[in-house]
Amino acid sequence: MLDRLAELPFWQAFLALFASAMVRSNGTYWVGRGAIASWRRYRGAHGEPTARAEALLRRLGPAAVTLSYLTVGIQTAIHLTAGVMRMPLRWYVPAAVVGSVVWAVLYATVGLAVVQVWLAAEAGSWWGVALVALALVGVVVWVAVRRRRASSHDPDVRVTPV
């Protein structure tokens, strides 16, 4: 399926991905709205993701819905929890639209480019895989440097003069 999306013009791939994101997230929201009776069982079985989702929704409100499209592992919990908490549609739907647009743009550009590199690698052209690997190494190094700098500026770490 992704190889077919990669062959489409950008606007068609974007629309397909946007529709997919909207259907999935709104479907999950409505399941949450209708599943309050079984919420305690779900929360017991999936305690940490749903507790994190609830905390994020209480702290960030609709922004948590929008940002959830950039996450893996908590996205469904956020949409389900937004439904269970009965987030008003006037807040949920615009947040879902913005998040779906961001997700669709990312997947229609970067995501499908990765699919094309993968397909090229399957066809015997490994230069794209090497380029992606180099980019991933760059991201890992960048994250490591940022973490090291952040930990060196940590206010909880006190250095006493000798």
| Tokens standing for residue 6 | 């990669």
Please, what is the average pLDDT of the chain? 80
Domain ranges of the chain: 2-110, 124-154
Contact 68, 74 (CB under 8 A): yes
What is the rounded distance in angstroms from the CA atom of residue 56 to the CA atom of residue 47? 14
Per-residue exposure over 77-87, b if at least 16 CB sit within 10 Å of its own CB, e if not: bbbbbbbbbeb
**Full-prediction pTM beyond 0.75?**
no
Asked if pLDDT for residue 4 goes beyond 60, the answer is yes
Q: What percent of the chain has pLDDT over 70?
A: 76
| Tokens standing for residue 98 | 């913005």
Asked if pLDDT for residue 159 goes beyond 50, the answer is no
